């Protein structure tokens, strides 16, 4: 199955971001991709952290979710809607950072709320997601079918989750074929750790990893690392977008490659500590 990860440089204007995302989804689908993944906060990179609360949607309602459902249906693809803010119990002062997966018929197939909330302070840049977000609590994986009828187990995660291997171990019952990591890594943390962590998660779980990212200097002054990437189950980088700004990477999910890696080095069956 061909898969695509979209890189964006999102703005504070939701309507503009939705239009660009829809165009990039269609472009990916035109290459033959059956699964398309958008980056974290594809819909909004606000001037302030609290801006997301003004655009947070109720589950199942709102222009962001409507665009995702319509794009999945119009292009006949599995669509991973990066992330968007969803209201918590109807409240306007808190949100979940949620990743939604839509089936090719436009129906919602899965929702994952980001469990690990990012906090960073290097003296110049300060971020604290917990100031506006509530953390999720449940790992989420789904099984989807490609157009030929093949089944793929897909584990969901978001950005900072990448630093917590225990989440991916929780998703490995049974093992995943593909891990998704929509992200908006900061430039300094991405430069130091992005590729390292993506390849480590692929090696540990002997599966494919697809990581769509925000990439470049945003209008709010924040610079994200980009380097949208696809990684194979041996830890090999299959594709990477080196340039900042919009674009995408493509890769092929190959069940035979997963089976080969797990047969020659059956590390998943050698685990002995509680899990």
Whether residue 262 lies inside any domain: the answer is: yes
Q: What is the pLDDT of residues 132-177, one digit of tens each?
A: 999 999 999 999 999 999 999 999 999 999 999 999 999 999 999 9
Low-confidence ranges of the chain (pLDDT < 70): 125, 275
Whether residue 166 lies inside any domain: the answer is: yes
Please report, in angstroms and rounded to a whole number, the separation of the first and last CA atoms in the chain: 30
Whether residue 275 lies inside any domain: the answer is: no
Whether residue 66 lies inside any domain: the answer is: yes
**Residue 213 belongs to domain spanning:** 2-270
Which domain CATH number covers 247? 3.60.110.10
Catalytic residue among 43, 159, 176, 207: 159
Q: Please check whether residue 81 is in contact with residue 108, taking contact to mean a CB–CB distance below 8 angstroms.
A: no
CA 205 vs CA 2, 147, 169, 232, 248: distances in Å: 20, 25, 8, 10, 24
Whether residue 234 lies inside any domain: the answer is: yes
Does residue 138 have an active-site annotation?
no
Strands 91-102 and 84-88: antiparallel
pLDDT (0 to 100) of residue 275: 66
How deeply is 90 buried, as exposed, middle or buried, from its count of CB atoms within 10 A (0-12, 13-18, 19+)?
A: exposed
**Kindly report the CA angle at 246 between 241 and 252, in degrees rounded to 5?**
45
Strand partners, 231: 209, 237
Q: What is the pLDDT of residues 105-119, one digit of tens each?
A: 999 999 999 999 988
**pTM confidence score:** 0.96
3-state secondary structure of 78: strand
Catalytic residue among 40, 57, 129, 244: 40
Catalytic residue among 34, 52, 57, 114: 114
Number of domains in the chain: 1
Whether residue 190 lies inside any domain: the answer is: yes
Does residue 176 have an active-site annotation?
no
pLDDT (0 to 100) of residue 82: 97
Does residue 159 have an active-site annotation?
yes
Give the list of residues 6+ apart from residue 46 with CB closer than 8 angstroms, or none: 12, 52, 220
């Amino acid at each position: 199955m061909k898969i695509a990860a979209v890189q964006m440089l999102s703005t504070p204007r939701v309507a503009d971001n939705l239009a660009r995302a829809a165009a990039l989804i269609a472009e990916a689908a035109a290459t033959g991709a059956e699964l398309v993944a958008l980056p974290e906060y594809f819909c909004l990179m606000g001037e302030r952290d609290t801006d997301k609360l003004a655009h947070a949607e109720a589950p199942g309602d709102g222009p962001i979710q409507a665009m995702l459902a319509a794009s999945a249906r119009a292009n006949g693809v599995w669509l991973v809607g990066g992330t968007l803010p969803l209201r918590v119990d109807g409240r306007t002062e808190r949100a979940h950072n949620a990743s939604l997966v839509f089936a090719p018929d436009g129906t919602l197939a899965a929702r994952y709320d980001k469990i690990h909330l990012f906090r960073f302070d290097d003296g110049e840049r300060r971020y604290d997601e917990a100031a506006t977000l509530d953390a999720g609590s449940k790992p989420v994986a789904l099984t989807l079918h490609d157009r030929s009828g093949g089944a793929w187990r897909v584990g969901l995660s978001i950005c900072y989750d990448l630093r917590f291997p225990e989440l991916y171990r929780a998703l490995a019952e049974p093992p995943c074929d593909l891990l998704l990591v929509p992200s908006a890594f900061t430039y300094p943390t991405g430069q130091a750790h992005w590729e390292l962590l993506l390849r480590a998660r692929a090696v540990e779980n002997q599966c494919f990893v697809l990581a769509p990212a925000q990439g470049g200097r945003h209008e709010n002054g924040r610079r994200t690392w980009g380097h949208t990437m696809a990684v194979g189950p041996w830890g090999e980088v299959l594709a990477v977008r080196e340039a900042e700004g919009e674009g995408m990477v493509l890769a092929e999910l190959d069940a035979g490659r997963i089976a080969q890696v797990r047969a020659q080095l059956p590390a998943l069956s050698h685990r002995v500590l509680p899990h």
